[in-house]
Amino acid sequence: MVEVRDHARPVNVSYIEEINSKKQSVGANAAFIVSRSGFTKTALEKAKHLGIQTLTYEEALKSDWSDWIKCEYFGVIEMKYENIFIKLGNANSNKILNVAPDILSQVQTNSKSKVVLGTDGKLLTSFFDLAHNIINSSIEKLYEGLQDNGERVRRAVLFEGTLEPELFVLGEDGLNHKIGKVLVEADFYIEERQYPISLSRFRNTESDESIVEVATSNIEIGGKKFRIDILAPMAGDYIPAGSTVQLRTTPFNNSSNEISKDG
């Protein structure tokens, strides 16, 4: 956050405190005050105590701001869940739909095995994917209030209505039953990981456009590895004000750290 003052009098303590409050309210990780008329002695002491950078107008013009405002890492925040429990029911009753033992054995061996049928009787999806779709339909509610510290919270979501497409499962009575209710429970949590960024001088990339590479980082999301590049168009020795910065992701091969040719 950068504040610029062009007043006749030097900036005083009250303004330093005002900027500090604004910094906290907007969640800024740094604050700079530029004043053409300078600062009072007590204002400089207060700013130093609060970790606020103070500069005169001349200092601001001469300073290399890239040393202060820069991207140091990528923070990857993932919404995760585990220990899934699922119950199926009929549309017009509260009775639990008992699944055939062979189906349960198959799911215990492979949780992503396709055991749910479509209207034509063909295998269509798995219990795992069905639960995943139910979770995604209520994702904001399920993760509401969770912090990005990895703490697990047990929550449940109930789907009632007509699934599209309609789904069926083989019951223990040997008949196919239409699924009308799905109760999904799981441990939900949010996890944040930070990845360092490799900063480099601007260099041309293999492109018809004037795009240069600004920074790169190797990250992992959902067990898959990616290379992240920050690209800026029309950059030379600096990035012009108002430039649109692009974000490019390139997957790595699963078996190695080499970038996929298809990426």
CATH number of the domain bearing residue 30: 3.40.50
**262 found inside a domain:** no
| 8 A C-beta contact, residue 124 and residue 114 | yes
- Domain stops at, among 38, 67, 96: 67
Q: Tell me: do 189 and 201 sit in the same domain.
A: no
Specify the DSSP element, H or E, that contains 160. strand 153-160
Q: Tell me: do 47 and 153 sit in the same domain.
A: no
Q: Tell me: do 82 and 112 sit in the same domain.
A: yes
Structure-block tokens of residue 104: 């349960």
Report the pLDDT value the prediction gives residue 240, as an integer from 0 to 100: 60
- Domain stops at, among 193, 213, 232: 193
- Domain stops at, among 150, 166, 193: 193
In the chain, alpha helices (H): 13-26, 41-50, 57-62, 101-109, 127-137, 139-142
At 7, is the pLDDT very low, low, confident or very high (cuts 50, 70, 90)?
confident
**257 found inside a domain:** no
Residues β-bridged to residue 178: 168
What is the DSSP secondary-structure string of 205-231? -SSSS-EEEEEEEEEEETTEEEEEEEE
**261 found inside a domain:** no
Domain enclosing residue 218, as ranges? 197-251
**30 found inside a domain:** yes
Q: Tell me: do 188 and 203 sit in the same domain.
A: no
Q: Tell me: do 91 and 119 sit in the same domain.
A: yes
- Region of 208 (left: φ > 0; alpha: ψ -120 to 50; beta: rest) is alpha
Distance in angstroms (rounded) separating the CA atoms of residues 133 and 127:
10
Kindly state the percentage of the chain with pLDDT values over 90.
44
Tens digits of residue pLDDT in 129-151 = 999 999 998 988 999 999 888 89
Could you give phi then psi for residue 5, rounded to 5 degrees? -120, 135
Q: For 51-73, what is the mean pLDDT?
A: 77
DSSP class of residue 104? Answer: H
Q: Tell me: do 114 and 160 sit in the same domain.
A: yes
The structure's pTM equals 0.59
Distance in angstroms (rounded) separating the CA atoms of residues 24 and 152:
28
- Give the count of domains, the chain: 3
Q: Tell me: do 25 and 91 sit in the same domain.
A: no
Q: Tell me: do 141 and 175 sit in the same domain.
A: yes
Q: Tell me: do 239 and 149 sit in the same domain.
A: no
**258 found inside a domain:** no
At 260, is the pLDDT very low, low, confident or very high (cuts 50, 70, 90)?
very low
**256 found inside a domain:** no
| 8 A C-beta contact, residue 76 and residue 219 | yes
* pLDDT of 172 higher than 70: yes
Helices (H) then strands (E): counts for the chain:
6, 14
Report the pLDDT value the prediction gives residue 224, as an integer from 0 to 100: 87
**152 found inside a domain:** yes
- What is the CB neighbour count within 10 angstroms for residue 144? 10
Strands 224-233 and 211-221: antiparallel
The amino acid sitting at 100 is: A
Q: Tell me: do 126 and 217 sit in the same domain.
A: no
